[in-house]
Amino acid sequence: MHTDKEFAGKSIFKQRIAHGALTFSVMTGLWDQLALLRETVIAFYGVDRMRFISPVHINDTIHLEMEVIKKQDKGKDGLVTLSNEVINQKNEVVMVCQTVLLMKKK
């Protein structure tokens, strides 16, 4: 599905698609572009409710929209839950998940 053009061409997608793990990896790379997260994240704590809504095709452009939906005090640090939506160039949501990050307090 991800590497065999002939096999993928006979699938419901009609072409090769990006692996979901790649889409998730790109999403976390987009986090890194946010200086706020780069300076304050201590550790990746977990992921919940991950769904791959639509395929990501070769040559697609994706971006991330995220929102802080929960904060939990952990003494000198805290847990922050983010709602993440990965969206393609057609404005279609291709992946969603909630992630929890252990972050420094300011």
Domains of the chain: 5-104 (3.10.129.10)
- Count the neighbouring beta carbons within 10 Å of the beta carbon of residue 80: 19
Cα–chain center distance at 41: 16
Residue 106's nearest CA partner among 29, 45, 37 is 37
pLDDT for 21 equals 95
Copy the structure tokens of residue 71.
């904060």
Tens-digit pLDDT string for the chain (106 aa): 888 888 888 889 888 999 999 999 999 999 888 776 778 899 999 999 999 999 999 999 999 999 999 999 999 999 999 999 999 999 999 999 999 999 998 7
pLDDT for 9 equals 87
Q: Give per-residue pLDDT as tens, 20-35.
A: 999 999 999 998 887 7
